[in-house]
Structure 1
Amino acid sequence: MAGNPVTTFHKALALVLSVIVDLFFFYATGFVVVHSAFGHLARLWVFAALRWSVIIVTALLVLGDLKPLLIRFTTAHSLLPAVLESGNWALSLEESQCSRVVDVRCWLMFAGASLGAALFWEFTIPDSDEEAEGKEQKQKSRVLFKRVLYLHYPDYLLLLGGLVFLTLAVICEMFIPFYTGRVIDILGSNYQQNEFLAALLFMGLYSLGSSVSAGCRGGVLLCAISSVTCRIKVMLFKALTEQEIGFFEIIKTGKVVKQHKERKQKDKMRKDFLIFCAGEITSRLSRDTTLTGETVCLNVNVLLRTFIKTVGMISLMMSLSWKLTFLVLMETPITGLIQNIYDKHYQRLSQAMQDSIAHANDAANEVVFGIRVVRSFNTEKHEADRYDKRLMETHSLKTHRDTVRAIYLLARRCTGLGMQVLILYYGRLFIQMGQMTIGNLVSFIIYQSDLGDNIRTITYIFGDMLNSVMAAGKVFEYLDRKPQISTDGNLKPDQLKGHISYQGLNFAYPSNPDKTVLQDFSLELKPGQMTALVGPSGEGKSTCVSLLERLYEPQHGEILLDGEPLKSYDHHFFHKKIAVVSQEPVLFSGSVRDNITYGLTGCSLDEIQEAARKANAHEFIQQLKKGYDTEVGESGGQLSKSERQRIGIARALIRQPKVLILDEITSSLDSESENKIQQALASCPDQTLLVIAHRLKTIETADQIVVISGGKVKERGTHQQLMELKGSYHKLREELFSEGRSTL
């Protein structure tokens, strides 16, 4: 403050001048009210307008600019006396003490009430620098809602039927309290049987109509929800399966991925990583698609029902007593302010509690995973104390949150109770004055008890709709995402040789773009030859296979198939001509026949059996209970590892590919099976064979052995040539023999 004396002086001057001017007009208003001859309310409103104008002009002359909060406070402060007296007149009440005797206490009371009104506005509709961002978010929500609404177009008949039944249910429900009061009036006055029976009949008909219409509405909308949810799930699943592999690797999975990257067991890390990626995706497929499907059918249903019911109830309440209706509506700002303050604090505390629970769980998980270290360093008590500290933080936040909720419930109930007392008090006065009957008062009280719940429902449903729209945004984010690897190629040559050429590749995985896996990598695979890739783990062998499958795109360079880039070929044609058998092939639930012909149609039994024979799988398949129709179970769990391996080989061979990739497939095969498979592969002389194998025998028979180290081709040649070279390949073999192993 001391650093900016001019600003401080201007603020103080504006405050003093505004107070002086306001007090002058406040007392002048009281003097004119007492001595003037023209209309009482007219005088109040004219002086309120003059008072507001003079205060605003004074503040502008001194400060030059006014904040919205100051303008709202000045407006409420200037108009409040006129509003108060107008309300007294509308409710047929006596003039307030402040209208007859003007003193500083009244001025302070009006100032406090005005400040409360201005703060209420500030809480509910705050002004901030993020206003533009808020408008952009609202616009985005509207666009998303329109897209969700468009997804319901095929079910428009169901939605229209639900709207009709909703309207009927609301209309019938609104008239039940009205006829309840009518029955009370008939019983309390001169009893007439015909009127009494007619009132009971109408009340019964409206109750029946409300129940039937509500049941039909629920059934119709549930059908619409089920239909649109299934449709969204299928659309999302199709969009996800079309994404490139890199997409699944960059899905956010929290700290778990970081922990898994630190593990040394590569296969287990990859498996767990895919599990957590699947968790992220299945969350979208299950939770978010369900919320998206419910956005219109449930939220809009509740919103329309509550809105129609609220408008109808207010209309009926106005017909019963418009004065009591205005009195009830005065509760709405107070309830809204209490709700806003509660929501703000409760959500903040709930989020903090969730974070605290997550921290406690992390502490427990660390101890479970590192129990050997805990036991070795004798820190059991320390870890227990640390876990207890985390739990106490959670307990403290939960207590604070529950206290806030208890205060909120108390304030809401006190507000409701106070309003009911006022309604009963003024209702008794109006009955004495002959302005309403006892039955009307009973009907009014029933409507009033539901009105508050309806207003709170409308407030809540907007927040719930926002959550649903945000969930829809996550779904549409995936639906709109274009795969970074194009599948728009259309090249489908009648003759394919299978000549592969890697030309100057540089590649890094999307999940770790700073680590280059392949650097200026070049390699040629010729038709009719077997090329074996060897080298230490993590040097780029599997990456070469992944790029050839077009699971990824290199950042620089390209791979050519018969002189044409891979992206030029038709997607289905390309993956039929290039087949891969991995070390642990993935089988899907279904029969053996279904897994061998996976992705193909029209395969005869003879073709299936021929592929199985080449893979040395026909004999064990015949011994199964139902042969080729035997169910393999989830992920092939009913079969052994060797049997799954041979079915995977048969699945590749039935496609009669021009390029066959074998990724360490012999690790789970016995010598007899390996020999038979090698003989079957030798029967295809024009086939390009790329092998990543660790068995020495497999490597020795290769036409070309390529040693990969540091993402580059370090050596290449036949087994004999590389042994004579006495380089990296010779060193690898010597290390294996010295350690007494038979595999690389």
Structure 2
Amino acid sequence: MARNTATVTRKVVALTLAVCVDLSLFYVAGLVATHSVFGHFAHLWVHAALRCSALTAVTLLALGDLNPLLIRVIASHSLLPAVFETGTKALYHEETQCGFSADARCWLMCAGASLAGALFWEITVPDADDAAAGKEKKQKARVLFVRVLRLYSPEYLLLLGGLVMLTLAVLCQMFIPFYTGRVIDILGTQYQPNEFVSALLFMGLYSLGSSLSAGCRGGLLLCAISAFTCRIKVKLFGALTKQEIGFFETIKTGEITSRLSKDTTLMGRAVCLNVNVLLRTFIKTLGMISLMMNLSWKLTFLVLMETPITGLIQNIYDTHYQRLSLAVQDSMAQANEVVNEVVSSIQVVRSFNTEKHEARRYDDRLMDTHVLKTRQNTVRAVYLLARRLTGLGMQVVMLYYGRLFIQSGQMTTGNLVSFILYQSDLGDNIRTLTYIFGDMLNSVGAAGKVFEYLDRKPLVSMEGKLKPEKLTGHVIFRDLNFAYPTCPNKTVLQDFSLELKSGQMTALVGTSGKGKSTCVSLLERFYEQQDGEILLDNEPLKSYDHRFLHKKIAVVSQEPVLFSGSIRDNIAYGLAECSLDEIQEAARKANAHDFIMKLEKSYDTEVGEGGGHLSKSQKQQIAIARALVRQPQVLILDEITSSLDMTSENKIQQALASCPNQTLLVIAHKLKTIERADQIVVIDDGRVQEQGTHQELMDMKGGYYKLREGNSPQ
């Protein structure tokens, strides 16, 4: 506390000393101006250099160092009178008398202007801050914005055409107020029909040109946005599908769909349209300032004093609005997740009578979003009020001085009307510039979330290149240790070792949750083990090409997943060049051909969403056919016979027996179905507890014997 008090006291002392020294130099300069040995302008610049040096020395002595903001304030405050006086004399051949007069009002005006200018610089071009130690560095909004622009490179021709049309529209629009003032001056003086008609004709031509150019600009930019959004959605979807399975277990579905559907659209529209508005407003602002300077440079400088105030208001608004925008996006993603969970599990919701509970949960998520949006709207309302009060105050001041200039003959009534029209538009343009700059940075908040997924490298590498012509299917699990990413402290497999010999059937048995399905997941490379390795034909799994590996290793799960489409599409899923004969042969091996041919459209029959038009056993048979059509070297069956009748089960087993060189891994819950396996492996607590044939394990009277004879839950 004492330390903070001392710091504040030191800063107050430094400010007081700086003001006293600067005022003294300012008044002394006014007194000696007439006796100076230098010329008028030389005196101004020497005085400016002395003031800058003195203020710097006082600040260093009092504070010990100078931050960039103080340097900008001192430099602008010291140099502003000299710059203003020199510029006025050079451009307009007038003297303001403020450059060397000992007038406190001039000193206050320069101090206020320099402070506002430095503050505006700090807002629009802030100094880069180093990220806090130990925290992950986040991408800057400006960096994200540049990345989005680079992604627009295929649409550069459309954007260039839009820019050309934008420039033409702005140039035509700028001259309309000028000719409005001309018409007023013509009507207010001796009426000249030719000049009047000429002015009206030019107003009409500029209006028509502005409208046509604006329409073309909008069409070109909308085409660019549509193409960009479509391309970025595909790119993001491709990046998501390459992520490891653990990624989808930790990231909620609603968040992913929100990024894919909403954030990509917001990213494309907001950035491109904001650039359009920014460029249009910037070009228009420069042109209007030039025309206003011709009408009255003094009123123009007066109007531009609004800019720092507008920038400060805009910066405060952007800070709060951006934070609330990100919170709203996250809240909407959570609400979408609730909907996805309920719709995908509607049978469970109905069976437990939790419809009202889920409705309340969804209502709670929507209320969270509503509260955030209310805060967002409140911040925007306060911002709009402050912005309009600032604009109104500036208009009052401008009208007051405009009346004085007309009385002194420095302006005509028509010039003032033109200036007022420009000023009204200029004020909106300056506010739009400050707003749109912040809004562009806000809009790339959505882009930041998209880039997080685009830049993410999957934890399970798919960069293998190995594609041997012949594969025996010999698999070795060697000293595996594994824990799921969602539960890193719970080890599922410990020092796990197992060999699957080519052409043999291996059955994994054991109670639930002991590691059987985990072995399958690791063999399918859904996850990466923490220790140990899995070898296929004495080569690590990660060395194999991703597409090749998943064609040679096929799995049929207990709960098969079918996709919307025909039976043919589901059996040939992922195989672009699969013939109908191959599909039918696989269906015969899976005992599915007979029931398929009885359907109205046979193999072209739609299965419905998730295979809803088929029975559970039919879905199981199609899933088996989908695996067999690949002619895999390693086939994994996860209790596939639970939904099949005895006849189908026998036919499938006969079909599998017809592939003598195929390695077969079976996860069995009904132990009676695996008695003919070449080896049966009992897994408990993530380790191999017993291993052998059915008869060998029965003779051991160990864990397998207890499971077989005790009919324990499997």
**Short-chain TM bin:** 0.7 to 0.9
Letter in 1 for 2:228: V
* Residues 623-662 of structure 1: pairs in structure 2 closer than 5 A: 623-662=598-637
What displacement does 1:309 show? 0.9
Offset from partner CA, 1:317-369 (integer Å, 9 cap, x none) = 11222221111111111222233334445556777899999999999xxxxx9
Asked whether the 8 Å contact 2:243–2:459 carries over to 1, the reply is yes
Relative to structure 1, is the Cα distance of residues 32 and 398 closer, same or farther in structure 2, using a 3 angstrom cutoff? Answer: farther
CA distance in structure 2 between the aligned counterparts of 1:458 and 1:111, rounded to whole angstroms: 25
Which amino acid counterpart does residue 441 of structure 1 have in structure 2?
A: L
C-alpha distance in 1 between matches for 2:86 and 2:191 = 40
2: distance between equivalents of 1:565 and 1:167?
Answer: 60
Equivalences for residues 279-358 of structure 1 within 5 A: 279-294=254-269, 297-344=272-319
2:578 paired residue number: 603
For 1:111 and 1:662, how far apart are their aligned partners in 2?
A: 83
CA deviation vs aligned residue, 1:448-501 (integer Å, no higher than 9, x gap) = 111122122222222233244454444444444444444444444444332222
Per-residue deviation, residues 119-150 of structure 1 (Å, max 9, x unmatched): 9459737988926789x989965655454334
Decide whether aligned partners of structure 1 residues 60 and 472 sit closer, same or farther in structure 2, where only a CA change above 3 A counts: closer
TM-score for the superposition, normalised by structure 1? 0.80
Q: What is the DSSP-based 3-state SS (H/G/I as helix, E as strand, rest coil) of the residue aligned with 1:528? A: coil
| One-letter amino acid matched to 1:678 | Q
CA 224–644 in structure 1, closer or farther in 2 if over 3 Å, else same? same
| CA distance in 1 between partners of 2:644 and 2:51 (Å) | 96
| TM-aligned CA distance change 1:60 to 1:659, over 3 Å | closer
Cα distance in 1 for partners of 2:482, 2:615 equals 36
Q: In the TM superposition, what are the counterparts of 1:14-163 in structure 2 within 5 Å? A: 18=18, 21-22=21-22, 24-29=24-29, 31-32=31-32, 47=47, 49-61=49-61, 63-68=63-68, 113=112, 117=116, 120=119, 124=123, 130=129, 144-163=144-163
Amino acid at match of 1:449: S
2:255 and 2:246 map into 1 onto residues whose CA distance is 15
1:706 matched to which residue of 2?
681
The one-character-per-residue Cα deviations of 1:349-399 (angstroms, maximum 9, x if unpaired) are 777899999999999xxxxx9xxxxxxxxxxxxxx9xx99x989997x988
**What does residue 353 of structure 2 align with?**
none
Deviation at 1:711, TM superposition (A): 0.8
* Farther off after superposition, 81-90 or 208-217: 81-90
Superposed, 1:465-614 pairs within 5 Å as: 465-614=440-589
Three-state SS of the structure 1 residue aligned to 2:632 is: coil
**How far did residue 19 of structure 1 move?**
5.6
What amino acid is aligned across from residue 520 of structure 1 in structure 2?
Answer: D
Deviates more, 1:222-231 or 1:426-435: 426-435
What is the CA–CA distance in structure 2 between the aligned matches of 1:146 and 1:403, rounded to whole Å?
31
TM-score using structure 2 length: 0.83
- 1:651 offset after TM fit, Å? 0.8
CA contact (8 A) 1:88 1:95 kept: no
Q: Distance in 2 between matches of 1:351 and 1:292?
A: 13
Match of 1:426 in 2: 401
Partners of 2:705 and 2:236 in 1: CA distance: 51
Unaligned runs of 5+ in 2: 339-344, 346-359
What one-letter code is carried by the residue in structure 2 that aligns with 1:564? E
Letter in 2 for 1:614: K
d(CA) in 2 for partners of 1:603 and 1:95?
Answer: 90
**Counterpart in 1 of 2:188?**
188
Q: Which of 725, 730, 738 is the aligned partner of 2:705? A: 730
In 1, the alpha carbon distance for the partners of 2:232 and 2:369 equals 41
Q: What residue identity is the alignment partner of 1:179? A: Y
Q: Is the alpha carbon distance of 1:214 and 1:14 closer, same or farther for their aligned partners in structure 2, counting shifts above 3 Å?
A: closer
Q: Tell me if structure 2 keeps the 8 A contact 1:705–1:718.
A: yes
- Counterpart Cα distance in 2 of 1:244 and 1:100: 74
Equivalent in the alignment of 1:175: 175
C-alpha contact 2:505 2:665 (8 A) present in aligned 1: yes
Q: What secondary structure sits across from 2:482 in the alignment?
A: strand
In structure 2, the CA distance between the partners of 1:132 and 1:175, relative to structure 1 (3 Å rule), is: farther
> Which of 647, 650, 653 in structure 2 is aligned with 1:678?
653
Do residues 412 (structure 1) and 384 (structure 2) align? no
Pair 1:164 & 2:164 matched: yes
For the residues of structure 2 that align with 1:111 and 1:178, how far apart are their CA atoms? 32
Q: CA RMSD in A?
A: 4.4
Most deviating of 488-497 and 557-566: 488-497
Cross-structure match for 1:207: 207
330-339 or 36-45, larger mean C-alpha shift: 36-45
Residues 1:442 and 2:441 aligned together: no
CA contact (8 A) 2:521 2:527 kept: yes
Preserved contact between residue 45 and residue 79 of structure 1 (Cα < 8 Å): yes
Question: Which residue number corresponds to residue 247 of structure 1?
Answer: 247
Which residue of 2 is the match for residue 694 of structure 1?
669
CA drift of 1:528 comes to 3.2
CA distance in 1, matches of 2:601, 2:238: 33
Residue 715 of structure 1, CA deviation: 0.8
Instruction: Give how far 1:155 is off.
Output: 2.7
Partner SS for 2:480: strand
Cα distance in structure 1, aligned partners of 2:205 and 2:633: 77
Counterpart of 2:351 in structure 1 is none
Farther-moved stretch of structure 1 (14-23 vs 296-305): 14-23
Distance 1:564 1:58, change over 3 A: closer
Instruction: Report matched runs for 1:378-389 at 5 Å.
Output: none
More off after superposition, 278-287 vs 210-219: 278-287
CA spacing shift, 1:108–1:459, aligned 2, 3 Å? closer
- Which secondary structure state, in structure 1, belongs to the residue aligned with residue 507 of structure 2? strand
The 1:475/1:656 distance shift into structure 2, 3 A limit, reads same
3-state SS of paired residue (2:533): strand
Unaligned runs of 5+ in 1: 254-275, 364-368, 370-383, 738-742
Give the superposition deviation at 1:692: 0.8
Cα distance, 1:112–1:231 mapped onto 2, change above 3 Å: closer
Letter in 2 for 1:671: M
- Could you tell me how far 1:118 is from its partner in structure 2? 8.4
Local SS of the residue matching 2:711? helix
CA distance in 2, matches of 1:230, 1:393: 28
1 CA distance for matches of 2:275 and 2:573? 43
CA distance in 2, matches of 1:677, 1:144: 55
Question: 1:272 aligns to what?
Answer: none
Amino acid at match of 1:124: I
1:376 alignment counterpart:
none
1:82 CA drift (Å): 7.5
Matched positions, count:
687
CA gap of 1:539–1:189, structure 2 versus 1, over 3 A, is same
Pair 1:462-2:466 in alignment: no
Residue in 2 that maps onto 1:236: 236
Matches of 2:107 and 2:31, distance apart in 1: 18
Q: Which string of whole-angstrom CA distances, capped at 9 and with x for unpartnered residues, describes residues 539-597 of structure 1?
A: 11011111222222323222222333333444333322221111111111111011111
Equivalent pairs: percent with the same residue?
Answer: 71
Aligned partners of 1:123 and 1:340 also within 8 Å: no
**CA 1:91–1:639 in 2, change beyond 3 Å: closer, same or farther?**
farther
- Change in Cα spacing, 1:392 to 1:174, as seen in structure 2 (3 Å) is closer
Q: Secondary structure at the match of 1:585?
A: coil
**Conservation of the 8 A alpha-carbon contact between 1:76 and 1:117:** no
Q: Retained in 2: the 8 A contact 1:77–1:110?
A: no
